[in-house]
Amino acid sequence: MSIEPTNDLRITAVKVLDIRFPTSDELDGSDAVHVDPDYSSAYVILETDGAHQGHGLTFTIGRGTEIVCAACRSLSQGLVGRSMSDIVTNFLEFHRSLTNDSQARWIGPEKGVIHLATAAIVNAVWDLWGKIENKPVWQLVCELEPRQILELTELRYVSDVLSHDRALNILEQQAPHREKRIAELRRDGYPAYTTSAGWLGYSDEKIRELCLQGIEEGWNHFKIKVGQDIEDDRRRCRIVRETIGPDRHLMTDANQRWEVGEAIEWMKQLVEFKPLWIEEPTSPDDILGHKAVADALRPLGIGVATGEMCQNRIIFKQLMAADAMDFCQYDSCRLASVNEILAVMLMAAELNVRCCPHAGGVGLCQYVNHLVMIDYVCIAGTHEGRVAEYVSHLHEHFADPWRQKAGAYLLPEASGYGITMKPDSLHRYAHPHGSVWVERAAK
C-alpha cells in the first residue's frame, strides 16, 4: 500500500472530544442491563497539513466516556508528525504500536478502554486514508489485492484457527467476483434489520405502532429486548409476532442479563414465538457458557447471537471454533477498526458463521455500512441468512448519513469512513461544556 507523494498528508494535531446525547430522556436504547443510556462517543479528529481531516469515534453510553477520551489522548501521542504514507505502508506495524505498546498493554491487552480508544484512533486513520484517495473506505479495501488486505489484517493469536495461507486462499477465491457484487450492492443494498421497535422502556402501543411502521417501510426482521420479567417478555413477544405475522423474523436480545442455566430456562418459555436468535444471553466473556446455551436452544430452533461486547478477535475465534455462536455481531468500535474486523470476517467465512454486525448507537450504522459491503464483496461472498443491524437514531448529526431503503443499507458513495459529524453537533453536545449540557445543568 502506498500514497502518492503529492497526496500525502502529515498529522499535525490530534483533537479528542467527549460527545454525549441525552437519549436516556426518552429511554431510546434502554435494555435489561443498560437502563438509561446517554448515547455518546469519544471522538477523534486528526488534523493535517493539507485539505483533509481524519474523523473517527468509538461508541459509548455516557459515564466513562471521559476515561476513553483520556485513553485516546494517551495512545495518540506518537501520531503528531507522522505522515499518512508512512502509516499505511506499514499499517499493521502502526496498529501494533497502539495495541501492543510494551507498557500500556498491561492495562488491556486489546480489551476494554484502551481497545475502544484504539478503535477511535484507527477509525480516524482509515477515514483520512479514504479521503486522501477520494474513495469510501469499503471501496478502498475492495480495490486492494488479497495479499495487500492480509498485510494489514491482524491475525496474531488466531493462527490455530486461521492460517495466513488459508486466509489468503479465501480472499483469492472471492476476488474474481468483486465487480459483479459491487454492482449488485449498488442496485439492491445489503440486508438490514431494525431494533428501533423493541427497547425495554417502550409501551406496548409504541411497540405495535413501530412494528406496523416497520412493515410498511419494508423491514422483515424485528428485534426486541427481553430479560427483565418473563411475563412482560411473553406479552411483548406475542404483540410483535401477532403484528409482524408468521413469516417475518423476530429476534430477542437479553443484553447479558442471565446466568447460563437461567438463559436456557427463560428462552424455553419464549419458543412458541419462534425467535430467530437470542442475543447476549449471558456474560460476553463466557465462551463455554454460550456453547451450553447454543447446545440447548439450537434443537428448539433458536440460534445464539453475540458480539457487540466481545472484546477482541481472540474471543470471536473461540466462540466460532467451539460452535458457540450462530450469528457474529462484531462491533465496529469495540474491535480495533478494519484491521481486526477483517480477521473476524475471515474466521467467520472459514468456520461458516454468519456475520450480522452490531449497529445503532452513535455512528455504528455509518461504519457497518462500509463493513458489510467489504464482507460481501471480498470475504463471505454471500449475504444469505445475514442481516446487519439498523437503528435510525441520531443520523441527523452526520455530514453524510447512511442511506437505506426497504430493509437494506445502500452503498456509501462519499469518500472516507462516513463518520464526520456536523460542526454544530460537535459543538452543542460536547460534554460537559456544550450548550445542550450547560442548559440541562442549569435546570
38 in Cβ contact with 22 (< 8 Å): yes
* Residue placing its CB nearer to a copy of itself in the complex, 65 or 337: 65
Which of 10, 15, 34, 166 touches a copy of itself (CB under 8 A)?
Answer: 34
Question: Is 156 a residue that touches a copy of itself (CB under 8 A)?
Answer: yes
Which of 2, 103, 203, 352 touches a copy of itself (CB under 8 A)?
Answer: 103
* Residue placing its CB nearer to a copy of itself in the complex, 337 or 420: 337
Question: Is 96 a residue that touches a copy of itself (CB under 8 A)?
Answer: no
Question: Is 321 a residue that touches a copy of itself (CB under 8 A)?
Answer: yes
Residue 327 per-residue DSSP state: E
List, in order, residues 6 or more apart from 346 with CB less than 8 Å away. Answer: 153, 162, 167, 170, 171, 379
- For the bound state, the minimum distance from the C-beta of residue 309 to a copy of itself, rounded and expressed in Å, comes to 7
Question: Is 111 a residue that touches a copy of itself (CB under 8 A)?
Answer: yes
Catalytic residue among 52, 221, 225, 393: 225
- For the bound state, the minimum distance from the C-beta of residue 416 to a copy of itself, rounded and expressed in Å, comes to 26
Question: Is 28 a residue that touches a copy of itself (CB under 8 A)?
Answer: no
Q: What is the grid cell recorded at 235?
A: 406479552
Dihedrals φ, ψ of 60, to 5°? -140, 180
- Annotation says 358 is catalytic: yes
* Residue placing its CB nearer to a copy of itself in the complex, 275 or 289: 289
* Residue placing its CB nearer to a copy of itself in the complex, 71 or 373: 71
- Dihedral angle sign, alpha carbons of residues 253, 356, 305, 109: negative
Question: Is 235 a residue that touches a copy of itself (CB under 8 A)?
Answer: no
- Could you give the 3-state DSSP secondary structure of residue 67? helix
Question: Is 153 a residue that touches a copy of itself (CB under 8 A)?
Answer: no
Residue 306 per-residue DSSP state: E
**What CA–CA distance (Å, rounded) separates 335 from 355?**
14
Question: Is 60 a residue that touches a copy of itself (CB under 8 A)?
Answer: yes
- Annotation says 15 is catalytic: no
* Residue placing its CB nearer to a copy of itself in the complex, 214 or 361: 361
91: closest CA among 46, 57, 122, 130? 122
276: closest CA among 300, 239, 301? 301
75 in Cβ contact with 98 (< 8 Å): yes
* Residue placing its CB nearer to a copy of itself in the complex, 64 or 218: 64
In 61-138 the beta strands, taken as DSSP E runs, fall at none
159: closest CA among 378, 2, 317, 388? 317
Question: Is 168 a residue that touches a copy of itself (CB under 8 A)?
Answer: no
- For a copy of itself, what does the binding mask look like between residues 283 and 312, x meaning CB under 8 A? xxxxxxx--x----------------x-xx
Question: Is 108 a residue that touches a copy of itself (CB under 8 A)?
Answer: yes
In 199-346 the beta strands, taken as DSSP E runs, fall at 221-225, 249-253, 275-279, 303-306, 327-328
* Residue placing its CB nearer to a copy of itself in the complex, 298 or 405: 298
3-state secondary structure 165-231: HHHHHHHHHHHHHHHHHHHHHHHHCEEEEEEEEECCCCCHHHHHHHHHHHHHHCCCEEEEECCCCHH
- Stretch of 3-11, 100-108, 129-137, 362-370 lying at the interface with a copy of itself (CB under 8 A): 100-108
List, in order, residues 6 or more apart from 165 with CB less than 8 Å away. Answer: none
Of 115-144, binders to a copy of itself (CB under 8 A) are 115-116
Catalytic residue among 358, 383, 397, 431: 358
Question: Is 418 a residue that touches a copy of itself (CB under 8 A)?
Answer: no
- For the bound state, the minimum distance from the C-beta of residue 381 to a copy of itself, rounded and expressed in Å, comes to 27
Q: Which residues are catalytic?
A: 225, 358
Which residues lie near a copy of itself (CB under 8 A)?
33-38, 60-68, 70-71, 74, 100-116, 156-157, 159-160, 256, 259-261, 282-289, 292, 309, 311-312, 314-315, 317-318, 321-322
